[in-house]
Amino acid sequence: MAAEEPKASSIQVIERMMNLLDTLAKHPDPIPLKQLAGETGLHPSTAHRILAAMTARGFVERVDAGVYRLGIRLLQLGNVVKSRISVRDSAVESMQKLHLATGESVNLGMRDGDDIVYVERTSSGRSAVRVVHIVGARAPLHTTATGKLFLAEESNARIAEYARRTGLPPSTPASITTLAALEKELERVRRHGVAYDMDEVENGVRCIAAGIRDDSGELIAGLSLSTPADRFNPDWAPLVRDTAAEISATLGYFKPESSTVALRNDKAPRR
């Protein structure tokens, strides 16, 4: 066995503690001390001392002799953090960056029954504020880009029920008004990870939206970029998606590595 490491500074100890926690988090099952030491590059006796201290405070649990997993204290602290996180507050900085990058209006919408309610907006300044995008305004799920994100999460049976319940009323001549057209549109949303509103809520206004998810993976809001039709640029879709992912990360969501979206070559739907 290698000689014991020299005494570490307080900062080094904290870094090693974080490495141990990160390593434990990567494994669904408890991990032996020897494996933890190997994966973190720590001497086994050093890893054991740090783990013992974290076990005493509940950050780590020893389930068997020399075998460890994450402790309940992390869950307790995580719930405290989660209770203090506001989607709106978490989104504002990223929304402003997207606004500066595009010069267009950025909206944050949340579902309320069969409608989307707009809870935050960065104003473009390049055109008049559209009525449907005033904070507090509502619009139907099937006509809005953000609403389509929420409908795409539903089963076919629930989508059909939504169509029967609402009747799919149009807001403009471009609005979707049949179940078959809605199902086709939602399949496109699922495939590409973004949704579009092509003059469907207001004539001359188009939107691109991507979903914001919480730490459990649940869709809780939609980020949309709205532009006049003559300035609409489908190449902004990856930027909208990446911004939504950035907000999701601040809420604790980590996208599975195996999940990929074919978006870079995607084009906006044609009408």
The rounded percent of the chain whose pLDDT value lies above 70 is: 85
Beta bridge partners of 115: 112, 140
Asked if pLDDT for residue 221 goes beyond 50, the answer is: yes
Which pLDDT belongs to residue 38? 94
Asked if pLDDT for residue 130 goes beyond 80, the answer is: no
Residue 243 CB neighbours (<10 A): 24
> What is the band of 95 on the pLDDT scale with cuts at 50, 70, 90?
very high
Asked if pLDDT for residue 266 goes beyond 60, the answer is: no
Strands of 67-70's sheet in order across = 31-32, 67-70, 60-64
pLDDT in tens, 136-194: 788 999 999 999 999 999 999 999 999 999 999 999 999 999 999 999 999 999 999 99
What value does the mean pLDDT take over residues 241-250?
96
The one-character DSSP state at 76 is H
Fold: same for 12-74 and 85-251: no
User: Rounded distance, CA 112 to CA 151, Å?
Assistant: 12
Which pLDDT belongs to residue 1? 42
Chain-wide mean pLDDT for the chain?
Answer: 87
Beta strands at 205-213 and 195-198: parallel, antiparallel or unpaired = antiparallel
Asked if pLDDT for residue 51 goes beyond 90, the answer is: yes
> What is the band of 31 on the pLDDT scale with cuts at 50, 70, 90?
very high
- C-alpha angle 215-112-249 in degrees, rounded to nearest 5: 20
Which pLDDT belongs to residue 260? 42
Which pLDDT belongs to residue 14? 92
Q: Which CATH superfamily, name and number, covers 85-251? A: GAF domain (3.30.450.40)
Q: Helix, strand, coil shares of the chain as percentages rounded to 5? A: 45, 20, 35
Fold classification of 12-74 (topology level): Arc Repressor Mutant, subunit A (1.10.10)
Domain ranges of the chain: 12-74, 85-251
pLDDT in tens, 169-185: 999 999 999 999 999 99
